[in-house]
Structure 1
Amino acid sequence: MLKSIQTSTMISTTDLEQLAEIELLRDEEEEDEEQSDAGPPPGLPPRRRSSQDAAHPYYDVARHGILQVTGDDNYGRKLVIFSSCCMPPSHQLNHHRLLEYLKYTLDQYVESDYTVVYFHYGLRSSNKPSLRWLRDAYREFDRKYKKNLKALYVVHPTNFIRIIWNIFKPLISHKFGKKLTYVNYLAELRDHLNCEQLIVPPDVLRHDEKLRAAQKGGPPPSVRSPPPRPPLPTQQFGVSLQYIREKNSQVVIPPVMSQTVTYLKQKGLQTEGIFRRSARVQLIKDIQKLYNLGKPVSFEEYGDVHVAAVILKTFLRELPEPLLTFPLYGSLQDIIRVETSLRVTTCMQIVGNLPEHNYIVLKYLACFLHMVSQESIHNKMSPSNLACVFGVNLARPPQGSMSLTALTPLNIFTELLIEHYHTVFGSRCPPGQVTP
């Protein structure tokens, strides 16, 4: 039936809308069957709402946890997550306010490349916005929002989604349409995203479990992860700072960092939007492979400063323990409770608790980012802008994913590191310290 819908030129939009409603009702019946089963699988927590601060300008919408911004994808692009199952019944949610909240959130990130993950499961006739609202929303999201959206992943699509897509085809450009990817199982996201950073609602996890259990022949092959292989002696990505130091003649600054920073200091300090742009995916993978095999990398050959910038962010993001370490994560989050006049001093104290090697590497990075910020008149990257890019790559919680509310204190802390570099790092001079 769906194929005939997609190929027919005679069917009206009204007919498509009616078919969409029919498909949504079928989805609801399947959901009702799932929810009548004997409880969630063991180990999955109940649904929980976002703990947004009541002072948030869109607290009435944000408190539901419909929208989350968490970390980056595998290519250094900010992740924005929309979860239909978190939407309350329509009479409890002002959809106009929802649209304003979407724009308010995206406005903080659309100057950089970003990725959207849409969890479709949980959309019902009781909580879905009208088709008119969807059309208005698409028109509201003008070129500013669409230009830097690099990928849109629709997870657990149904016929309803495909029919809606058909309704909107006259409004959607071919270029935008190429950014859409349907994802049938959560495991398929692993090829594109860092799933450890992905905030997946428990309802979606349960639904995915049922889909995989119902599949003949067991779960999809991508779910069966091979046992981890020991890292190569030359490995640079995905291994600890200590491992890199031991395997590289006790070098203090990891080679990936020293080489990217050296190149960017020479070529990229005045590049507008440095660290905001992504690079060709396959090229980044190829460079990572060269590093991991111990082969030389010359960024001059690529002629694009954004390549080196993405490699630097990727290196930091893939450290098994973030540069600011797991034990200090709670202290970083508490910075928002500190009086503004005392925050620099608090930042110094937190940084002073880092292990020696982490401190040296962080100082090296912060010094470089301070240099970048000094050229903000050209590159448009102020300490605040740099903090939005690097904060999520410097720290993350020991368990689970980082919530939208956790980003604010992390960005504040990172901005302090960059803007007040000389003060924060001036009082401690560890042995063997190096500067960029």
Structure 2
Amino acid sequence: MRNSAEGMSEIDFEQLAEIELKKDECELSSLGERKASLLQPAAEEVDLSMDHPYYDIARHGIIQVAGDDNCGRKVITFSCCRMPPSHQLDHIRLLQYKKNIKALYIVHPTNFIKILWHIFKPLISHKFGKKVSYLNYLSDLREHLKYDQLIIPEDVIRHDEKLRSAQKGQPIPSTITPPPRPPLPTQQFGVSLQYLKNKNKGELIPPVMKHTVSYLKEKGLQTEGLFRRSPSIQMIKEIQKLYNLGKPVNFDEYGNIHIPAVILKTFLRELPEPLLTFECYNEILGITSVESSLRVANCKQIIQKLPEHNFVILKYLMCFLHAVSQESILNKMTASNLACVFGLNLIRPLQGISSLSALVPVNMFTELLIEFYHQIFNSRTVAGESLP
């Protein structure tokens, strides 16, 4: 690809977590640190020593963690304009994540790239071929992901402007983001906890959480791989729409226990402010520097600072996840496994996006909340709270 092209691929953090679950905790921590150095979230220059294992890749700033797509999956940008000559870079190490790609968007594709793709397409698996989409302008990305979170090199932005200005007499896609629509009175996804409380007669536990948790506790506790399977995205969107319109959802009709599991994760991920709040983010990232024997107490201190409403919902959720972990002999979902699935749905920074360096502390913090649920949550009760 020449300098004017930028490729971008999505990576599902849960897919990454799935791989990490197969490794022991020590290896996970080490690998997490190395990957965090490779995928810096926003820095143009990466400050690494020359003997760092990923120095040769990270110093170029080719790969960046860059927000979420419209399905909540993490996005990675791959900036071809920053690619050095081939003799300066190990391309095999650079493309080590290719097996985890869910979709590949190639922005500003040249005719040469299209010709190459046409030539080699018969040699590429049909499954991977369906993941590739060509986009002519950066603005086209808005249909697929949260564009404003992307980290785009200035060279690519200037090239995009040049291409758009060259299209004389042709309609150019608008780059203006339309104002958000006001939520429906029955809206359940993407609205604040306070909004849900006000619209549900003061109920502390949001209806989606209560519905999915109750269903899963009754019928899914012993399901192997609970929370680690992904049903059809279109089906999930349809169920979200039913909830948002205030219509009843009967999970028995779908015959797939993994659907309510994904709905629960989606609800948490789409909260305007994460359940663990922006304020707690830095403290949570510091859990790895706390002495092992003091980590549970440290978790308890952080949790005590949460607003009452957040505390009640978190307690409700962790009570349920603790019950799931108690069936891990059958469902294979230990506290550690559940933490890998839920951690990044519970906390994120106020500005920017979470980098892979946050993966280890966030997962560790979440695992402690699940495993030591009784010790951490037993000293605080709130009027009107309920447990699953």
Match for residue 247 of structure 1?
Answer: 199
Match for residue 79 of structure 2?
Answer: 83
Is the 8 Å Cα contact of residues 212 and 263 (structure 2) preserved in structure 1? Answer: yes
Distance in 2 between residues matched to 1:380 and 1:55, nearest whole Å? 39
Shift in Å, 1:267? 2.4
Distance in 2 between residues matched to 1:47 and 1:215, nearest whole Å? 33
Match for residue 169 of structure 1?
Answer: 121
Distance in 1 between residues matched to 2:55 and 2:122, nearest whole Å? 35
Is the 8 Å Cα contact of residues 285 and 358 (structure 2) preserved in structure 1? Answer: yes
Write the mapping of 1:81-230 to structure 2, written as runs, cut at 5 A.
81-99=77-95, 102=96, 106=97, 145=99, 149-195=101-147, 198-201=150-153, 203-216=155-168, 219-221=172-174, 223-230=175-182
1:287 aligned to which of 239, 253, 259 = 239
Distance in 2 between residues matched to 1:406 and 1:51, nearest whole Å? 18
Shift in Å, 1:334? 1.8
Match for residue 343 of structure 1?
Answer: 295
Q: Does 1:299 align with 2:222?
A: no
Write the letter of the residue equivalent to 1:383. Answer: A
Match for residue 3 of structure 1?
Answer: none
1:253–1:52 CA distance, 2 compared to 1 (3 A): farther
**Would you say how many aligned residue pairs link Structure 1 and Structure 2?**
352
Distance in 2 between residues matched to 1:52 and 1:377, nearest whole Å? 42
Match for residue 380 of structure 1?
Answer: 332
Is the 8 Å Cα contact of residues 68 and 80 (structure 1) preserved in structure 2? Answer: yes
RMSD: 3.0
Gaps spanning 5+ residues in structure 1: where?
Answer: 1-23, 32-45, 107-140
Shift in Å, 1:240? 0.3
2:213 aligned to which of 261, 269, 273 = 261
- Structure 1 stretch displaced more, 156-165 or 46-55: 46-55
Write the letter of the residue equivalent to 2:70. Answer: N
Q: TM-score, normalised by structure 1?
A: 0.71
* 1:270-302 Cα deviation digits (max 9, x unpaired): 323322222222222221111111111111111
Distance in 2 between residues matched to 1:373 and 1:194, nearest whole Å? 33
Q: Secondary structure at the match of 1:328?
A: helix
Is the 8 Å Cα contact of residues 253 and 361 (structure 1) preserved in structure 2? Answer: yes
Is the 8 Å Cα contact of residues 238 and 320 (structure 1) preserved in structure 2? Answer: yes
Write the letter of the residue equivalent to 1:379. Answer: N
Distance in 1 between residues matched to 2:380 and 2:249, nearest whole Å? 33
**Higher relative CO (CA 8 A, sep ≥ 6), structure 1 or 2?**
2
Match for residue 13 of structure 1?
Answer: none
Is the 8 Å Cα contact of residues 71 and 392 (structure 1) preserved in structure 2? Answer: no
1:323–1:50 CA distance, 2 compared to 1 (3 A): farther
Distance in 2 between residues matched to 1:310 and 1:55, nearest whole Å? 42
1:206–1:344 CA distance, 2 compared to 1 (3 A): farther
Gaps spanning 5+ residues in structure 2: where?
Answer: 6-41
Is the 8 Å Cα contact of residues 274 and 346 (structure 2) preserved in structure 1? Answer: yes
Distance in 2 between residues matched to 1:365 and 1:91, nearest whole Å? 51
Shift in Å, 1:236? 0.9
Q: Secondary structure at the match of 2:313?
A: helix
1:219–1:411 CA distance, 2 compared to 1 (3 A): farther
Match for residue 21 of structure 2?
Answer: none
Distance in 2 between residues matched to 1:390 and 1:169, nearest whole Å? 37
Q: Does 1:309 align with 2:261?
A: yes
- Structure 1 stretch displaced more, 332-341 or 238-247: 332-341
Distance in 2 between residues matched to 1:71 and 1:411, nearest whole Å? 19
Is the 8 Å Cα contact of residues 75 and 310 (structure 1) preserved in structure 2? Answer: no
Is the 8 Å Cα contact of residues 140 and 173 (structure 2) preserved in structure 1? Answer: no
Distance in 2 between residues matched to 1:422 and 1:54, nearest whole Å? 46
Shift in Å, 1:384? 2.5
2:376 aligned to which of 424, 428, 432 = 424
1:47–1:76 CA distance, 2 compared to 1 (3 A): closer
1:377–1:409 CA distance, 2 compared to 1 (3 A): same
Write the letter of the residue equivalent to 2:366. Answer: T
1:364 aligned to which of 296, 316, 323 = 316
Distance in 1 between residues matched to 2:307 and 2:51, nearest whole Å? 36
Shift in Å, 1:245? 0.2
Distance in 1 between residues matched to 2:256 and 2:53, nearest whole Å? 39
